[in-house]
Amino acid sequence: MCFSCKQGNESSAISTKNYVNIVKNDAQNRIDIFVDSVYFTSYLYADSMLRKPVLFPLKTANGKRITRGFPFKPIVGERMDHPHHYGLWLNHGDVNGVDYWNSAVVPKNENARYGRINHVEFLKMKSGGVGELSVKKNWVNDKQEIVIEEVTTYRFKGDKNVRSITCNSTLKAVSKNVIFTDSKEGMFAIRVRTELEMPSERIDKRFGVEVDSLVNIKPTGFYKNSNGIQGYPEVWGKRAKWMQLVGVVDDDSVAVSILSHPKNPNHEPHWMARDYGLFAVNPLGSKTYTNGEEELNFSLKKDESITFCYRVLIENGVVSSVRDIETQFLKFAENQ
């Protein structure tokens, strides 16, 4: 184990080409990740607003933030809807009747049952050409029972134009059988900044902000998936092995791609890709996405486990073509 006990901020790291440095920051209850001395992201695990550990914020190789700031660091002019959408996370909307997706400091529905995901311990921290962070989490229901034990390993890589995160999450049913009832609200997700939203009068009316505050913040996002479907709402709920979101941030081309490993259940998965900046892959929502034509209701018996594996590619400058992403997907599929 290579463990950095250095107390870090966004400027402290080791400078070696393509070197990923994992920095433990006890003072702020986070783990900071750097690539070539440039801040990339942090694992947040103990903030009072958290109802699940997340990676926040996410930045490009040249330092452009791609995630929405709210609720941790609100940005003037951005929307403040869906307070449970922050950073990059994994959870689900219906686990044994308990909602982990919509769990927030202020409940969405007073009559609903909400759970939370608690950070338990760090299992591994390793800096190097590939940075590695392994953590244990518990999915706790509204009766304070541990329903699922999660072990997630994040692997971080980067170069002058690309950042990547490979996320392997193993979920184990520990106290009883578990059923993930089909829900549109899941599962591996990012909430992106305003510039990467879709241009849309619908969301301006639904999640409105002051008009003057949007003058210099222009939504430019556009989705395309591995099956050639493009735009919104065309991509919503459709099956695909990968999805790419492209846009412009501070006059720089930015692309965020999510790849779903073929060993994940219910492959090719559905996609919860929204115009207002929610970008998610959800293999466990078939009933909703197919208008009832399909139904999965994935289940685990007590002591059984399942692993979900995803890769996120964040690019700035030159954006990968469909052929390039397909090549990346094949490498991802072969090496996991």
- Establish if 117 belongs to a structural domain: yes
Q: Is the pLDDT of residue 150 over 80?
A: yes
The contacts of residue 248 (CB under 8 Å, 6+ apart) are 195, 220, 254
- Establish if 47 belongs to a structural domain: no
- Establish if 159 belongs to a structural domain: yes
Q: Answer whether 261's CB lies under 8 Å from 159's CB.
A: no
- Establish if 45 belongs to a structural domain: no
The CATH code of the domain that includes 185 is 2.70.98
- Establish if 5 belongs to a structural domain: no
Q: Which residue has the higher pLDDT, 201 or 168?
A: 168
How many independent structural domains does the chain possess?
1
- Establish if 30 belongs to a structural domain: no
> What single DSSP character describes residue 49?
T
pLDDT tens, residue by residue, 54-113 = 999 999 999 999 999 999 888 887 888 899 999 999 999 999 999 999 999 888 888 899
Query: pLDDT at position 5, please?
Result: 31
**H helix runs in the chain, sequence order:** 201-206, 286-289, 322-335
Query: pLDDT at position 31, please?
Result: 98
The chain-wide mean pLDDT, for the chain, equals 91
- Establish if 59 belongs to a structural domain: no
Q: Is the pLDDT of residue 207 over 50?
A: yes
pLDDT tens, residue by residue, 157-168 = 999 999 999 999
pLDDT tens, residue by residue, 45-61 = 998 889 999 999 999 99
As separate numbers, helices (DSSP H) first and strands (DSSP E) second, the chain gives: 3, 18
3-state secondary structure 204-273: HHHCCCCHHHHCCCCCCCEEEECCCCECCCCCCCCECCEEEEEEEECCEEEEEEEEECCCCCCCCCEEEE
Query: pLDDT at position 109, please?
Result: 85
Query: pLDDT at position 139, please?
Result: 98
Segments forming the whole domain that contains residue 323:
68-335
- Establish if 136 belongs to a structural domain: yes
Q: What's the pLDDT band for 136 if we cut at 50, 70, 90?
A: very high
Query: Measured between alpha carbons, how far is 310 from 260 in angstroms, rounded to an integer?
Result: 5
Q: Is the pLDDT of residue 182 over 90?
A: yes
Q: Is the pLDDT of residue 173 over 70?
A: yes
